[in-house]
Amino acid sequence: MTAVTPFPADARPLLEVRQLSQTYNLRRQKLFASRPTLRVLDTIDLSVRPGEAVGLVGESGSGKTTLTRMLTGVEKPMSGNVLYDGLDVWTGGEAHRKLFRRSVQVVLQNPRSSLDPRMRVGTSLLEPLRSLKIEGDHAARVLEVLDQVGLQKSALERFPHEFSGGQLQRIAIARALMPGPKVLIADEPVSALDVSIQAQVLNLLKDLVRDLGLGLVFIAHDLSVVAYTTSKVYVMSSGKIVEVGKPLDLFRNPQAEATQALVGAVLSVEAGLAGNALA
Amino acid sequence: MTSRNAIEVRDLVVGNGDVTAVRGVSFTIPQGGRMGLVGESGSGKSMTALALMGLLPMGWSTHGSVLHDGVDLVTQSDKALSSRRGRTISMVFQDPLSSLNPVRRVGDQISWVIRKHMGVDKKTAEQQTIELITQMKLPRPEQLVRAYPHEISGGQRQRIMIAMALACYPQLIIADEPTTALDVTVQKQVLRLLNGAAHDRGSALLMITHDLPIIAAMCDTVAVMYAGRIVEMGPVAEVFRNPRHHYTRGLLDSQPTMDNIALDGTSRLVSIPGMVPPLHDLPTGCAFNPRCAVATDRCRAEMPELSGDTLKSACWHPVPNSSEVAAQ
């Protein structure tokens, strides 16, 4: 597992959340009653180092997406800290926040809805540089990133509808790489893709972590996909991290109930052929 | 023969004039049999299902023959097909939220199917509905029948869909990606219910999915579709253990499993290069040839036909099977 990480394992975490909690107010049940609250994140600790891929798994409703919103600075936590490079992103000042916004980028589940259908791919790729006001040789940067994700130069002139799902996800990854991030957050990046294409995208993410020393937070519901891509997995259930460990250890010896449920849900071809998959 | 098979599809072609989504597909599912249909998006697997149900979108037409219950479904009128759907042949769709009627109570939707097809009175139909919901292991059936689709969870909705599909003891149930929209931990329960219920009623099952483990768990035979044709077909164990077609081999190899992860952290998945060709721009010869590692001039010129005994595959240079490898 450590072979994926050419960087020292004791390197300082790039992106870290400490004791993070978030509570939402719900609708009043009675006219004069106080509003009930829902604790969606409960004292979460999570960190990612350079060149490290960590996984985040859990059922829907476990708080994965809310945590992603915290990690990307979209939502402000009620309590606890989100630290980038050791400094809080909400109280660390304008310059640090700017650095944080360039350095943490996100890849979403469905590239068909996360890429603007009316924008040529080339324009879409330049968009993050424009909105983050990053100076430099943009044309050269585009070509460099295209090469990193394995796309042809001709892709720049075309529109999203001209591509297949797998290629679009490469474009979405390319767009996330444009500002030169240090951490990539991928929310279910392969679940909308065909089986034969999933492997291509997973391999690409793995290569990027190795070659660019990126930190990767990989969110998925499929344990086998997470285990293939990451070297450390956090299991979430009802807003809490219930178990952390190496993917194979979690697979072979799940401790928490939520982990056991996820492991039990994995279907494999071999178990199916043996006739005990649905037992 | 027809009376012994749940469905018999011969040379099915589905197209809309511009493109042909299904290009000559033949298969037979015996009474109570279970077949899996695997393929990626654009392979024509869903169009095959819709053609069998007579639910193709406007402008699409079907050629070939589909023998079911002693008649050829291709030549049937819309009215005749409509009286069959839900009675002798029924379908479970991928997304239950968009296939259930949002403004009617789920119980009414099930009992309506029963009243329409079984000719029973309202009270009997409602009783049967409650029985069905109980069989689907849903909690508090008496209250659940009064719920609207948005008030219940995705897993419950899909179980309502399955109950509806089973209501009239159909000869064939077509399930098109029935668990893709569900949470992983619910998937197994829903599959188990579908499996058991189809078995109890003696219904045949056509399971359409891109998920190979689901096929392995539920079906006896499997057909692998690529670009509108079946490229490999046979008993599940044989196809998954000893595939002869390079596409099937590639699909199996690109699945992350416990075994290939266990090797070490640097292991890489084998991926099939390239992408599924668009229907309007199919390569000549074998449609898989641009992505195939062993393609030759013959593969680029001539289209291979399905051949073989129990395991049929359409490939000029099939993957050597284990006994042949051992002989070398």
Query: What digits encode the pLDDT tens for the residues B93-145?
Result: 888 888 999 999 999 999 999 999 998 999 999 999 999 999 888 888 999 99
Q: Is the pLDDT of residue A52 over 80?
A: yes
Is pTM beyond 0.90 here?
A: no
Residues of B in contact with A251 (CB under 8 A): 258
Cα distance from A117 to chain B (closest Cα, Å)?
19
Cα distance from B257 to chain A (closest Cα, Å)?
6
Residues of B in contact with A221 (CB under 8 A): 183-184
Half-sphere exposure of A31 (CA within 13 A, CB side): 0
pLDDT of residue B2: 44
Is there a contact between B217 and A203 if contact means CB atoms under 8 Å apart?
Answer: no
Residues ≥6 apart with Cβ < 8 Å to B230: B25, B26, B27, B223, B224, B306, B314
What DSSP assignment string belongs to A165-199?
A: HHHHHHHHHHHHHTT--SEEEEESTTTTS-HHHHH
Half-sphere exposure of A250 (CA within 13 A, CB side): 32
Q: C-alpha dihedral over B68, B230, B219, B168, to 10 degrees?
A: -30
pLDDT of residue A257: 92
The number of residues in chain A equals 279
SS3 state at A267: coil
CA B23 to CA B11: how far, in whole Å? 8
CA A30 to CA B116: how far, in whole Å? 43
CA nearest to B254 within chain A: A199
Residues of A in contact with B180 (CB under 8 A): none
Cα distance from A278 to chain B (closest Cα, Å)?
6
Residues of B in contact with A209 (CB under 8 A): none
Delineate the domains of chain A, giving CATH numbers in brackets. 2-272 (3.40.50.300)
Element (H, E) at B228: none
Chain-centre distance for alpha carbon A23? 22
Confidence category of residue A1, pLDDT binned at 50, 70, 90 = very low
Q: Is the pLDDT of residue A182 over 90?
A: yes
Residues of B in contact with A166 (CB under 8 A): 275
pLDDT of residue A225: 86
The number of residues in chain B equals 328
pLDDT in tens, A98-155: 999 999 999 998 888 889 999 999 999 999 999 999 888 999 999 999 998 988 888 9
Q: Rounded to a whole number, what is the largest CA-CA distance in chain A?
A: 63
List beta partners, residue B20: B15
pLDDT of residue B327: 54
SS3 state at B203: coil
Cα distance from A207 to chain B (closest Cα, Å)?
10
Tell me how far CA of residue B44 lies from CA of A173, B39, B252, in angstroms.
29, 8, 20
CA B25 to CA B200: how far, in whole Å? 29
Could you tell me if A233 and A55 are in contact, meaning their C-beta atoms sit under 8 angstroms apart?
yes
Q: Which residue has the higher pLDDT, A46 or A272?
A: A46
Using CB atoms, pick whichever of B237, B251, B268 lies closest to residue A203: B268
Q: Are strands B229-235 and B5-15 parallel, antiparallel or unpaired?
A: unpaired
CA A277 to CA B216: how far, in whole Å? 8
Residues of B in contact with A195 (CB under 8 A): 40, 210-212, 251, 254-255
Mean pLDDT check: name the lowest of A87-96, A214-223, B213-222, B249-258. Answer: B249-258
Cα distance from A127 to chain B (closest Cα, Å)?
27
Cα distance from A206 to chain B (closest Cα, Å)?
9
pLDDT of residue B49: 93
Residues of A in contact with B192 (CB under 8 A): 278
Interface of A with B in 10-39 (CB under 8 A): none
Using CB atoms, pick whichever of A4, A222, A278 lies closest to residue B188: A278
- Interface check for A9 against chain B (CB to CB < 8 A): the answer is no
Residues ≥6 apart with Cβ < 8 Å to B137: B159, B189, B193
Could you tell me if A39 and A239 are in contact, meaning their C-beta atoms sit under 8 angstroms apart?
yes
Q: Which amino acid appears at position A272 of this protein?
A: G
Interface of A with B in 167-186 (CB under 8 A): 167
Q: Which amino acid appears at position A189 of this protein?
A: P
Residues of A in contact with B276 (CB under 8 A): 164, 194, 196
pLDDT in tens, B44-59: 998 999 999 999 999 9
Could you tell me if A229 and A53 are in contact, meaning their C-beta atoms sit under 8 angstroms apart?
yes
CA A70 to CA B77: how far, in whole Å? 57
Confidence category of residue A197, pLDDT binned at 50, 70, 90 = confident
CA A225 to CA A199: how far, in whole Å? 9
Is there a contact between A199 and B183 if contact means CB atoms under 8 Å apart?
Answer: no
CA A275 to CA A278: how far, in whole Å? 8
CA nearest to A60 within chain B: B183
Tell me how far CA of residue B252 lies from CA of B136, B163, B258, B269, in angstroms.
32, 32, 13, 10
What DSSP assignment string belongs to B15-44?
A: E-SS-EEEEEEEEEEETT-EEEEE--TTSS
Cα distance from B99 to chain A (closest Cα, Å)?
20
List beta partners, residue B205: B34, B173
- Interface check for A158 against chain B (CB to CB < 8 A): the answer is no
Tokens of B138: 């849903």
Mean pLDDT of B173-185: 86
- Interface check for B74 against chain A (CB to CB < 8 A): the answer is no
CA A163 to CA A160: how far, in whole Å? 6
pLDDT of residue A2: 42
Is there a contact between A248 and B262 if contact means CB atoms under 8 Å apart?
Answer: yes
Mean pLDDT check: name the lowest of A152-161, B23-32, B262-271. Answer: B262-271
Confidence category of residue A31, pLDDT binned at 50, 70, 90 = confident
